Structure 1
Amino acid sequence: MIHSPFFIYMTLLEIIDTAIKIGLGALITGVITYLNQKANISASVAKDNLLYNRNLLTNISKDLEEINHLVLKIWAIFEFETKQSQPALNEISDRLKPLRHALFNDFNLLSKNEGLLLLHGYIEQ
């Protein structure tokens, strides 16, 4: 083997060249991985927020439907009884008593849901 200064010099340049190439490749890979991960996390957060808002609005809609159904029951009793020639006030009171308590309790749901809507920025709703 020849151990000339030129041969040693070229080997040193090849080692430095390879090290620079590996370092730049690792740097490029790291930057791309970072940007890709950042985009994935942002998309995941947006997806989670959308899913949370959808579930929130679905639950609020269910609660409002229950309140609406209860109000319609009360309205139906009044509508039916006003068409009677002799409305029985005791019977009307007995039929309305559980509905009044349920309506009072359901207004708690209404207040809670209104607060949730305001908290999450649904001002117009």
Structure 2
Amino acid sequence: MEKDIYTLIDTALKIGLGALISGSATYFVARHNSSHEKAKEERAFRRQILQQAALKLELAHFKLDEATHPFWAHVANKDATPLTSVHEDSLKHNLDARNIISEARALITLLGILPLRKSLLEIEKDASKIYEAVAKNEVFKQGTKINDIHNDVRRRLGECIETLGNHELA
């Protein structure tokens, strides 16, 4: 009888230890998978925001082109479009570009890419200079300066997009 009790205790201990080991292993595997899944979701979220910001910067690039090209087309082609209409279109496209850059800057700030945020603030200031020249009807008077600012802004937007691409790869 004494042997039966020892056998029973032995069996109970083996079952209990087996359950404890199995439960612990299951817990740690589930915890590891959960943290891995969370990191995967965070990477996907970051990639999605980077892509949104890059698309916004590309759209801003396009809008800034739209803001300045009507003037040069007007001059080159002796376009019959009234100059006031060209001014209005230019102001609208420039404002759209600045708003889009601001949206991209917010996304970039969310990701914590602060040097890029600073670059976009400077780009917005330069786009504002173009806007002011158009609003003051000084486009033709300041044509070379506006072209230089526009080309510099386009170059820096391209650099920002490239930087975003490098952050996605990291």
Distance in 2, matches of 1:92 and 1:65, equals 27
Residue 120 of structure 1 aligns with which residue? 111
Instruction: Name the TM-score, length of structure 2 as normaliser.
Output: 0.60
Aligned length: 116
Q: How far 1:101 moved relative to its partner?
A: 1.6
Residue 73 of structure 2 aligns with which residue? 80
| RMSD (CA atoms) | 2.2
**Amino acid of the residue matched to residue 16 of structure 2?**
G
Q: Which runs of 5+ in 1 are unaligned?
A: 1-7
% identity of equivalent residues: 26
- Residues 3-82 of structure 1: matches in 2 within 5 Å? 8-82=1-75
CA contact (8 A) 1:70 1:103 kept: yes
Instruction: Name the TM-score, length of structure 1 as normaliser.
Output: 0.78
CA deviations on 1:43-80 (whole Å, 9 max, x unpaired) are 11111111101111111111111110011123333333
Pair 54,110 (structure 1): closer, same or farther in 2 beyond 3 Å: same
Q: How far 1:82 moved relative to its partner?
A: 4.6
Q: Which runs of 5+ in 2 are unaligned?
A: 117-170
